[in-house]
Amino acid sequence: MAFVEEGPVARYRVGLETRERILAATRRLLSEFGIEGVTLKAITDQARVGAGSFYNLFASKDDAVFEVVREAIDAVDPDPAGAGTDSLGDLVDAFVAFMTGSSPIARIYLQLAGRGLTDPAIAARVLRSHRRRVERFADAWQREQPELTPEEAERRAELMLGALTGLGMTALMDPTFDMRRHAVELLPTSAASVRRP
């Protein structure tokens, strides 16, 4: 007689497996068809789950897409615990790695950000993510240049992220563009001299 696991632990495990199947299906669809090809039906068909199971785990298709993007960003995070050990160079390297190494997902992120111009819910999510990134970059600026005021560090972080986003857009459109070579030019002289190719 086979042992059948029951109860809350079994339901939790099934929920985790279903969640991962949904995210794997979303990743595949995003890579193959882009954001336009990702529908709730396509996700549930690929994941072999019903819409009810999907909605038990995600509020919307966009939630699943944002989760896939978040996982790609977390995969290159130099300080996933948020302990404040990342340098500006580490953060720039992670940004470059996301834009160049996760290009289908990076494209999706930029498309979602663009949708935020007309969708307040998406705008709120993208702005929350951006503000967390600004905080991380500003913190690194202050650790590396303690003479900066918090306001100056935040201003530099915003400018650096704006420039990195522009470089990332160029890299996504032009595969010959060397984003890393340009990105290191954004680092303070002392940090950039260590990282220059």
Instruction: Spell out the domain ranges in the chain.
Output: 1-60, 76-195
Q: Is the pLDDT of residue 196 over 50?
A: no
Task: Find, among 23, 36, 60, 22, the residue nearest to 108 by Cα.
Answer: 36
Q: How far apart are CA 190 and CA 117, in angstroms?
A: 37
The pLDDT tens digits of the residues spanning 115-143 come to 999 999 999 999 999 999 999 999 999 99
**Picking from 4-13, 140-149, 183-192, which range would have the lowest pLDDT averaged per residue?**
4-13
CATH of 1-60, one of 1.10.10.60, 3.10.129.10, 3.90.1150.10, 3.90.800.10: 1.10.10.60
**179 neighbors 168 (Cβ within 8 angstroms):** yes
Q: How far apart are CA 183 and CA 116, in angstroms?
A: 26
pLDDT at 34: 86
Q: Is the pLDDT of residue 197 over 80?
A: no
pLDDT at 119: 92
Task: Find, among 119, 164, 112, the residue nearest to 137 by Cα.
Answer: 164
Q: How far apart are CA 179 and CA 12, in angstroms?
A: 42
The pLDDT tens digits of the residues spanning 69-102 come to 999 888 899 998 888 899 999 999 999 999 998 7
Q: How far apart are CA 90 and CA 139, in angstroms?
A: 13
Q: Is the pLDDT of residue 6 over 70?
A: no
Q: How far apart are CA 107 and CA 171, in angstroms?
A: 10
DSSP 50: -
Task: Find, among 53, 164, 46, the residue nearest to 109 by Cα.
Answer: 164
| CATH no. of 76-195 | 1.10.357
**Mean pLDDT for all residues in the chain:** 89
Q: What is the mean pLDDT of residues 8-34?
A: 85
115-140 as b/e: b if 16+ CB within 10 A: ebeeeeebeebbeebeeebbebbbbb
**158 neighbors 134 (Cβ within 8 angstroms):** yes
